[in-house]
Amino acid sequence: MLALEVMDTKAQPLGMSINWTKNKIRDLGGCDASRQRVSVQENEVEVVESFVYPGSLIHCLGGSELEIKRRAAIVHDAMFALGQNIWSSSISLETKLRLYITMPVFC
C-alpha cells in the first residue's frame, strides 16, 4: 500500500490528512475475498470487491453489466417514487407513454 503512504506524506505539508475510515481498497488480483482489511501506517483499510467512484461502480469482475443494472435500478426507483404523480397529472398521453417505455423492467 505504498501509494497510500506516499499520498499521506505528500498531503501532510499541505495541512491535509487521509480519513482512513472512508478509504477502501479493491484488490486488482481478482475477487479473492481472503483479505478483509490491510494495515497502512498503523491504520486499518477495508478491502472491498466493489465501490462507487465518481458515480460509476468499480467491481473486481470488470465489465459493465453490474454498472448497467445499478443505474437501471436507480432509474426504476426514481420512476417508482414519482408514482401516481406522473400518471394522474396533466402531462400528455404521448409523454406518459414515452416515460413508461423508457422505464427499465430488469433490475
pLDDT of 107 > 60? The answer is: no
Q: Average the pLDDT over 39-60 and give the result.
A: 80
Supply the pLDDT for residue 101.
81
* Rounded-to-integer distance, Cα 66 and Cα 56, Å: 10
Same domain, 55 and 88: no
Same domain, 104 and 70: yes
**pTM score, whole prediction:** 0.52
CB proximity list for 103: less than 8 A, separation 6 or greater:
75, 76, 79
Same domain, 23 and 36: yes
Structural domain boundaries, residue 80: 63-107
Please state the domain count of the chain: 2
Supply the pLDDT for residue 75.
80
Same domain, 73 and 23: no
Q: Which of 26, 41, 62 is the last residue of a domain?
A: 62
> Look-up: residue for cell 453490474?
66
pLDDT digits (tens, 9 = 90+) for 68-87: 888 888 887 887 787 767 77
